[in-house]
Amino acid sequence: MKTKLIHLSLLASLTIGTIFAQDKTTVVAKNSDISDNLDLRAVATVFGDARDLEDFERRLNDPKTQISNLDLNNDNYVDYLRVIETVEGNVHLVVVQAVLDRDVYQDVATIEVERDGNNRVQVQVVGDVYMYGANYIYEPVYVHTPLIYTTFWVRNYRPYYSSWYWNYYPSYYTYWNPFPIFRYRNHIHVHINFGHTYHYATHRRCAVVYNNYYGRRGNGYERRYPNRSFTHRNAGYANRYELDSRRNSNGPRSRNDIASNATRGNRESRTFNSSATRTRNEARTSRNNEARGNNETRENRRNTARVNTESRTRNEASRTDNNRTYSERNRNTARERGTFSNNAKRNSEPRERNVMSTGSRRNSDARDASSRGNAPSRNTAPRENSNSRGSESRGNGRG
């Protein structure tokens, strides 16, 4: 039993240690990627809530909400995100850039707004290829038509271009330190409106417009660190979506993904809890079995002792019974002997009495006989005397 308990405890420790080792490895992988510091679904939510592009920029850099967690220049402060716009036909290309230094910018994402011939507006939020990999695209479907749509297609429209740059920021903006990745993920979830739907897409609708802009894109961080692109950081993954799907990211991508990821997370937690519970239950079961075995051995010992005591008691009882029987037999024998002797005495006394009565009877008979024998002699003697006297008298009378 002890050997089984030792094997079960070793198996449980190895299983739990392996699970925790896998979790630690996953956390390290998440912390190592730059794209984890800005969730594009949160950017799409802010875009749908903004009145115009100026308000959109203010919401991106609001210290109260802290939508961004990017610190590309490694100064321990979250980089300011500026917004610029390019217009071509019915397409508005809204670019989000991180301000890293004086006249140094890095494109982070683009929001491509297009209106078709039926006046239907379609929006794609596309991550920069250096930051998120190729074709990392979300298409938000808003519950209500965003107010910002009404500002794009008006007469005498002027593209928006941010007036803020390095060390010259709006009054509402203050520096804040970046979160650890796991805290940022928990924080940014609150600022994603999951009432909207975020569809992942692999095809870029405004590819022509973006190609025209590509030569003017900000790539200051890319030029400093050309070997830190997404493909170099995550070999074997085309973009952030594949990375999330393969490493089971905690951040869901749509309402369907929320449910599926929640279900997966619950299943994984249930599996982990069930495995841990099984190992613990096995250990507890083994312990209980050992305790039961010990209790059984104790009970067996107790039962053996009880049996021995009962047998001893029975033996003693039998001995006492035998002694009692023996003593009773002896007593009965003595009683029988006494009774026999008394009966013998009683029987002998009548016999003696009978003998004595017989003897007395015999003596009385003898006495009677002797008396009877003596009586005739006595009677004969007087008769003789009387006879002699009569004869004498007769003789005297005759003479």
CA nearest 167: which of 85, 75, 86?
75
Domain map (residue ranges) of the chain: 32-253
Q: Tell whether the torsion through CA atoms of 267, 272, 274 and 275 is positive or negative.
A: positive
What is the C-alpha separation between 181 and 183, in angstroms, rounded? 5
Tokens read off for 72 = 């590309």
| Torsion on CA atoms 316, 317, 322, 327, rounded to nearest 10 | 100
- Residue 256: how many other CB atoms lie within 10 Å: 12
pLDDT on residue 207? 93
The mean pLDDT of 364-372, rounded to a whole number, is 41
pLDDT on residue 11? 65
In the block, tokens 């095809």 appear at 203
Q: What confidence tens digit (pLDDT) does each residue in 95-124 have?
A: 999 999 999 999 999 999 999 988 899 999
pLDDT on residue 7? 61
Q: What confidence tens digit (pLDDT) does each residue in 120-142 have?
A: 999 999 999 999 999 999 999 99
Phi, psi torsion values for 92, nearest 5 degrees? -110, 115
Residue 399: alpha-carbon gap to chain centroid: 170
Looking at mean pLDDT, say which of 51-65, 230-244, 294-308 comes out highest: 51-65
Q: What confidence tens digit (pLDDT) does each residue in 328-340 have?
A: 554 544 454 444 4
Whether the pLDDT of residue 151 is over 90: the answer is yes
What is the C-alpha separation between 159 and 161, in angstroms, rounded? 6
Q: Do the Cβ atoms of 84 and 218 come closer than 8 Å? A: no
Q: Do the Cβ atoms of 56 and 47 come closer than 8 Å? A: yes
Q: Structure pTM?
A: 0.57
Q: What confidence tens digit (pLDDT) does each residue in 180-210 have?
A: 999 999 999 999 999 999 999 999 999 999 9
CA nearest 184: which of 249, 275, 277?
249
Residue 174, Ramachandran bin (φ over 0: left; ψ between -120 and 50: alpha; else beta): beta
